[in-house]
């Protein structure tokens, strides 16, 4: 499986193009086999665990995978088994009906000791309970990011909620940021806006793509 994009299909404006990419990648990933997704996630997990950024990290913010994102269940178990401090995101800007009550997206890192204590959360994603400890952004050494897709220049296209974009503004400059992406839906080049910052690395089942600073 490999994503096939013809440039003439992509709309003109950046916002329209991002919307198009999300729709197209989601459509194509639905056709991926369970064997491919499982095997790719296994290799990606092994690669992340071997990276210097992971080995040096004491506090890791990961994510709970959904919507055919790269599965992180084995990775989160590995983080805990390695004695690292594991955090997962908790959205704090939604009321009980799921409607946002703040102008900007709000997300906190919460420390967990086991994924068994997760509860149904925002957008159907399992989240830490409200009484789990808050971890300040400046305490996080490594962030494992989900994506719809990434490109080879380490640009990441998320689900569009803006939660990670806002959170990343608060972390330390030396906090490592690694996105997990299937090679099959990796783009050559994604549309970007001025505020879109590259991650330090994109890990697929075939390669680690690193952002080259000028």
| Annotated domain spans of the chain | 12-88+136-210
Cβ partners under 8 Å of residue 212, min gap 6:
none
Taking domain 12-88+136-210, whether its CATH number is 3.40.50.300 is answered by no
What percentage of residues in the chain have a pLDDT greater than 90? Answer: 63
Count of beta carbons in the 10 Å neighbourhood of residue 20: 15
**Which one has a higher pLDDT value, 84 or 8?**
84
- Name the pLDDT band for 102 (thresholds 50, 70, 90): low
Output the pTM of the full model: 0.90
In the DSSP assignment, the letter for residue 187 is: B
- pLDDT at position 12 is 74
- pLDDT higher than threshold 70 for residue 101: no
| pLDDT higher than 80, residue 95 | no
Whether 162 and 102 have beta carbons less than 8 Å apart is answered as: no
Average pLDDT over the chain reads 88
Where b means 16+ CB within 10 Å and e means fewer, 137-163 reads: bebbbbbbbbbbbbbeebbbbbbeeeb
118: nearest Cα among 71, 81, 65, 163: 65
pLDDT digits (tens, 9 = 90+) for 118-135: 988 777 788 999 899 999
Cα torsion at 130, 136, 141, 146 (round to 10°)? 50
């Amino acid at each position: 499986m490999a994503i096939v994009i013809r440039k003439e299909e992509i709309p003109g404006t950046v916002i329209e193009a991002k919307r198009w990419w999300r729709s197209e990648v989601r459509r194509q990933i639905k056709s991926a086999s369970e064997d491919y997704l499982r095997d790719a996630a296994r290799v990606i997990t092994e690669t992340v665990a071997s990276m210097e950024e992971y080995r040096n990290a004491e506090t890791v913010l990961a994510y709970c995978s959904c919507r055919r994102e790269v599965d992180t269940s084995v990775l989160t178990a590995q983080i805990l088994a390695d004695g690292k401090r594991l955090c997962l995101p908790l959205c704090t800007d939604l009321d009980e009906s799921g409607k946002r009550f703040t102008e900007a997206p709000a997300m906190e890192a919460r420390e967990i000791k086991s994924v068994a204590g997760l509860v149904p959360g925002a957008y159907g994603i399992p989240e830490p309970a409200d009484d789990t400890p808050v971890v300040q952004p400046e305490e996080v050494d490594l962030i494992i990011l989900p994506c719809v897709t990434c490109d080879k220049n380490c640009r990441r296209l998320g689900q569009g909620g803006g939660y990670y974009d806002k959170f990343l503004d608060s972390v330390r400059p030396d906090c490592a940021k690694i996105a997990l992406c299937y090679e099959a839906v990796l783009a050559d080049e994604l549309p970007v806006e001025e505020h879109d910052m590259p991650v330090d690395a994109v890990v697929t089942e075939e390669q680690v793509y690193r952002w080259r600073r000028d």
